[in-house]
Amino acid sequence: MKLADRLYKTTEQLWNSYLEHPFVSGIADGSLDLDKFRFYMIQDYRYLLEYSKVFALGIVKSPREDVMRSFALMVKETLDGEMEIHKKYMSRLGITAEEVAEAKTALLNQSYTSYMLDVAFKGDALDILVAVLSCAWSYQFIGEHHADVPGALENETFGEWIEGYSCQDYRANTQDIIDMVNELGDNISEEKAVYLEEVFMNCSRYEYGFWDMAYNKEM
């Protein structure tokens, strides 16, 4: 079994529970309160700034030039791609750049990104890839599920969000990370694999916590 498949199997039950979370299901059926989504957008933007730093550490830890270039591209795609989508959404929701800059980062958000940065500082390129994969892959998992919900993609408020995380470009970017995890994770020790399962599970638990945080607007 490839490493990415093993990681997914570890968290499959937890990921399926995301779909039943009221924040996540509210995006699918259009019932999510806009004030909760507004809170989420601000916190997720601040999350992505730290998430980009985790990718950047991958450049430092890269064992080869091609891996270094892949991490550099991931930084660019996050800052210039995913965050640009957030900016468009925030503009429609009346969120200003000043508001985002002055907003406090919620405690769960700080804890999550601090955990990933700790894994990145202490570990190698593979550790970093596994830490970031939980977010990237689980968002694709949710996006693809929601894209099959009748009327979800046409929803005026949340359709663009669903499209963004289910589109071909996003799936290709996630697949690049999966492929790198499988390549660098080939022939690792069982001890290393168990550690990476722990990292992936911890990040997946943080993902669930992020949905809770957003739904409850919890600082």
Annotated active-site residue in 12, 99, 135, 191: 135
Task: Kindly state the tokens that stand for 215.
Answer: 């739904």
| Catalytic (active site) residue 207 | yes
Quick one: which H or E segment has residue 215? helix 190-216
Task: Kindly state the tokens that stand for 163.
Answer: 């499209």
| Catalytic (active site) residue 203 | no
- Report angle CA 39, 41, 43 to the nearest 5 degrees: 70
Task: Kindly state the tokens that stand for 70.
Answer: 């892949």
CA dihedral 74, 193, 142, 111 (to 10 degrees): -70
Annotated active-site residue in 190, 198, 207, 218: 207
Task: Kindly state the tokens that stand for 68.
Answer: 């270094």
For residue 217, the 8-state DSSP code is T
Distance of CA 31 to the CA centre of its chain: 22
Active-site residues, by number, are 135, 207
